[in-house]
Chain A
């Protein structure tokens, strides 16, 4: 019982990454055809396995099957949460890919972009599918390496500096992860996540000091990757220096996969949720949420402003997860837990769409006016109506105005916080929502309205960039439909169930 579709999510992007330089030798335009084609095939595959979930949730490459029920090979796991993440990654990647083709005219050395983009995509898919700890580490490194190079793609002063910071912080984060993995291997003598979980639960070793020490190292590594507030210094630089489609990938997908997904997988499926960890995660989330939005209000560079909002919105997601874990550890009702996790996952995909769209509109403004300073903008509504509509939809979504998707997910998280008895966190969530709205009113006001800029030699926005932005703007509204149970049952519920029935994960994988 195997599901060989899973291997294609890793194999296809790797193949494309290394085929493109070869094809380029013979035909110059090959890259612009392979890029959208392969990412579209991946998107279709992801949609297929989400809508029509296969019986088997795993694939074991090379036929290294378990011996006496002890897993020995590499396991790729495509359960509810992984399938959900695959759809998120590949849909945003496809939209960024078609946006990138015209946008790359701003850069030299375009041909390297395509290889790096696919390496990043392969790494992300690999992280989500990895069923053992060491594979997780390797794919995190693949993603990170491609991201470092993509951040420095413009090779200007600031971009190199941002990439260097990102590399030092990211390198430290993966080393912390490796240390945690080494400790886990020491204690459990296995690397398979399901197996680790079994060993920890059987030996009642889940709460010893050594486990807690390991958990803190793993959490520190993941928190750097997710840019939680004490560890956030690299994010505003890296995300604002990268080319815009890459910023959209970094903010929309990379911090979610390397940060939130790994937290969910490790601290809910592998370790049993504990009171202590839920507290740490919720507090980190709350601090990031508040401090991120305060830093954003003071920012005048458009992409830097958006990057600070990424920290803030990821804080929402992590606070939701922390509350959910707290309710699980406190023995709360399954409905309350389901509501928090649904809210957190829903907000995560919403954030991927609207923050991706905001970075793409920022890229469109940069493409046309060659300027990202809000103080020097103004009156763009007249010249770029489509960009204005798209960015308006995304701004309202991130600020949580109905009927856009952001409203429903924030609402779910806040309601869950009140139900769980965390009134202060709920109030904080509301306050941050208001500050977010203020910050995006500022963006709209300075960029699109107000006194028009004196110089009017604007470049026309290419069609593919427009198409990508319109699709995302439509998604911002359409994704509100996920609050209906019928739609939720297809997309969100399988992922939430993976988190609710964490022992079920073990039974299915072994």
Chain B
């Protein structure tokens, strides 16, 4: 249970960073922290204490010993690929913003008013 709570604390840390940071790069980092906390939680959900890797040709697996759930692992792999796209795209925008405004401070990047 402790691990789940730690994951949730990590998520809240990311959200906190997202709310208070003024630097664009720090915002991106906070978003990544939230991402990672959710990935960790997904892996934990599929984990079984003492479970084997879900590879079907192992003899232990065939003899019905406990195996960790492979579905969350594939989900996390997919989500990591998506996160790669998210991060590369958002960092591209950050570079472009820096070129246009000459600063990473969101309080100085305010041509648009919400």
Contacts and interface: CB of A to CB of B under 8 A. Distances in A.
Contact of A178 (B79, B93, B96): B79
Contacts of B96: 152, 155, 160
A366 interface: no
A145 interface: yes
A241 B31 CA distance: 24
Interface in A126-159: 134, 137-138, 141, 145, 148-149, 152, 155, 157-158
B39 to A, nearest CB: 9
B89 A138 contact: no
B42 interface: yes
A149 B89 CA distance: 8
Contact of B45 (A138, A164, A167, A185): A185
A13 B79 CA distance: 22
A205 interface: no
A141 B82 CA distance: 7
Given A175-B35, A186-B45, A168 B90 contact: yes
Given A155-B96, A160-B93, A241 B112 contact: yes
A233 B34 contact: no
Nearest to B112: A237
B42 A182 contact: yes
A191 interface: yes
B78 interface: yes
Contact of B100 (A145, A148, A160, A162): A160
Given A157-B100, A172-B31, A134 B93 contact: no
A168 B17 CA distance: 12
Contact of B71 (A167, A191, A233): A191
> Chain A interface mostly helix, strand, loop or mixed?
helix
Contact of B89 (A145, A161, A172, A186): A145
Contact of B97 (A164, A171, A237): A164
A444 interface: no
A67 B42 CA distance: 24
A233 B114 contact: yes
Interface string B95-114: 01100110000000101101
Given A161-B111, A175-B38, A168 B11 contact: no
Contacts of B90: 164, 167-168, 171
B41 interface: yes
A161 B45 contact: no
A162 B109 CA distance: 10
Contacts of B114: 233, 236-237
Given A157-B101, A158-B112, A237-B112, A167 B93 contact: yes
Contacts of B61: none
Contacts of A112: none
B89 A182 contact: no
A179 B18 contact: no
Contacts of A164: 24, 90, 93-94, 97
A233 to B, nearest CB: 4
Given A167-B86, A178-B42, A182-B72, 17 more contacts: A138-B82, A141-B85, A148-B89, A149-B89, A157-B100, A158-B111, A160-B96, A161-B97, A161-B109, A161-B112, A168-B27, A178-B38, A179-B11, A179-B38, A179-B41, A186-B45, A191-B71
